[in-house]
Amino acid sequence: MTLHSQIIGEGTPFVILHGFLGMSDNWRTLGNQFAENGFQVHLVDQRNHGRSFHSDEFSYEVMAADLKTYCDEKGLDQIVLLGHSMGGKTAMEYAVTYGNRISRLIIADIAPKYYPPHHQDILKALSALDFSEITSRGQAEEVLAQYIKESGVRLFIMKNLYRKNKNEFGLRINLPVLSDKVDNIGVGLDDDAIFEGDTLFIAGGKSNYVDEMDKPLIEKHFPAARIETIEGAGHWLHAEKPEAFFTMCMTFLK
């Protein structure tokens, strides 16, 4: 099964992987900017997300293999690969497994370490949506607001809502599997995994996902890595500070 994607522009292949509960649409604005600068941008929906297929299997190994299948089918070699959060973990797994097929690697606000489960509130909120009773996006947001206080996070999650037909909403994500396999989101890279190619880690200054203590681990797995910080940005650094994020990526790519 092939991953769903949006392809923009012509030039050097540049694949972008979204985070947990995200989708390719989250990266459209930046994708257009990269496309205007000589890249053919592939905004990919990972399995159980967006418009890609649903599967009971969900791990970084299978997601990296999904990406290899996608690249094989599209004839992509020597890609620039950018991943955010969960997508960053998939990108790291792809890099250490299929490293000879990457020209540059960019990892946004995630480290190669283990993270304890921390998405329970969001998953509980999504599980509380009863689509036999919800007839509008407003009603869905009211339910989500009981669990998720930050409006920005609610709007991000609401992107998963779509009309299955005239009378019924549904979710694009495979909620049962993602809830069941949520522990797999936090796993770290294997101890002996190494990618020696050019790598940029970008951290959000206000985010708690990557800190100074992660530097030795990053450099162990990615010996050529540079680590940069966007001050004033949280975990969704590309959405909060898009200009700074874009400039940092382009400087690295040039």
Q: Choosing from 4, 18, 84, 235, which is the catalytic residue?
A: 235
Rounded to the nearest 5°, which phi and psi values hold at 94?
A: -65, -45
Rounded to the nearest 5°, which phi and psi values hold at 169?
A: -90, 160
Where do we find the tokens 């890249």?
A: 39
**74-113 burial: b if 16+ Cβ within 10 Å, else e:** bebeebbbbbbbbbbbbbbbbbbbbeebbebbbbbbbbbb
The token pair at 135 is: 């007839």
Asked if residues 137 and 129 have their Cβ atoms less than 8 Å apart, the reply is no
Asked if residues 154 and 172 have their Cβ atoms less than 8 Å apart, the reply is no
Q: Choosing from 18, 85, 207, 221, which is the catalytic residue?
A: 85
Asked if residues 109 and 88 have their Cβ atoms less than 8 Å apart, the reply is yes
The CA distance from 108 to 242, in Å, is 12
The CA distance from 19 to 21, in Å, is 6
Q: Which of 210, 233, 230 is nearest to 222 (CA)?
A: 210
**221 assigned to active site:** no
The CA distance from 179 to 177, in Å, is 5
**42 assigned to active site:** no
The CA distance from 101 to 110, in Å, is 22
Give the residue numbers annotated as catalytic, written as ranges: 85, 235
